[in-house]
Amino acid sequence: MTHATDPLHDRIAQSFARQGMLTVLGAELRSVAPSVVEIWLPYADRVTQQQGGFHGGAMGMLADVAGGYAGLTVAPEGMEVVTVEYKINFLASFQGGTLRAVGRVVRPGKRLIITTAEVDHVDAAGKASPCALMQQTLVPVPKTY
């Protein structure tokens, strides 16, 4: 889907495309709006732990990226954001389906941006179940590319 007329989506999509880990793991940018970003991660062997469920590292990465990009939607042009801290609670592990992370800005500050992300498992029938909840602190930094 092309969003050529949406500069905010284009800004996030261009940054998203530069993250090699997201490409390797198969993450997909699904939606971008001011203060809210949604990213999906399909189930695959490369994102599982030894028991076959989604790995906590994959859930944490997805939450971190969704929250980070939500924060970037409120950062000034010419700036990026970096995570300086996050706390995540893992609520459940799932096999199959897809993970959906929705990042939201809680406080769009000039020095610190506070976000949350909810990670849900979405099964083949479309039923969503919570699997992780994150709170994050971001710092805006000058864009270097």
Instruction: Confirm whether 2 is domain-assigned.
Output: no
Instruction: Confirm whether 53 is domain-assigned.
Output: yes
- Residue 64: what pLDDT? 98
Segments in the chain forming alpha helices (H): 7-17, 20-25, 56-72
Interval 64-90: pLDDT, tens = 999 999 999 999 999 999 999 999 999
Instruction: Confirm whether 35 is domain-assigned.
Output: yes
1 — pLDDT class (breaks 50, 70, 90): very low
Report the first-to-last Cα separation within the chain, whole angstroms: 25
Here the tokens at position 48 are 């599982």
4 — pLDDT class (breaks 50, 70, 90): low
Listed range (2-6, 61-65, 107-111, 125-129) with the worst mean pLDDT: 2-6
Instruction: Confirm whether 1 is domain-assigned.
Output: no
How many domains is the chain built from? Answer: 1
- Residue 74: what pLDDT? 98
Owning domain of residue 136: 7-142
Compute CA 53 distance to the chain's CA centroid, rounded to the nearest angstrom: 19
- Residue 144: what pLDDT? 87
- Residue 2: what pLDDT? 47
Taking phi first (over 0 means left), then psi (-120 to 50 degrees means alpha), and beta for anything else, what does residue 86 get? Answer: beta
CA distance 106 to 46: 32
| Edge-to-edge strand ranges of the sheet holding 36-42 | 28-33, 36-42, 98-108, 113-122, 128-142, 79-90
Interval 85-120: pLDDT, tens = 999 999 999 999 999 999 999 999 999 999 999 999
Interval 19-68: pLDDT, tens = 999 999 999 999 999 999 999 999 999 999 999 999 999 999 999 999 99
The CATH number given to whatever domain includes residue 32 is: 3.10.129.10
Instruction: Confirm whether 60 is domain-assigned.
Output: yes
- Residue 12: what pLDDT? 97
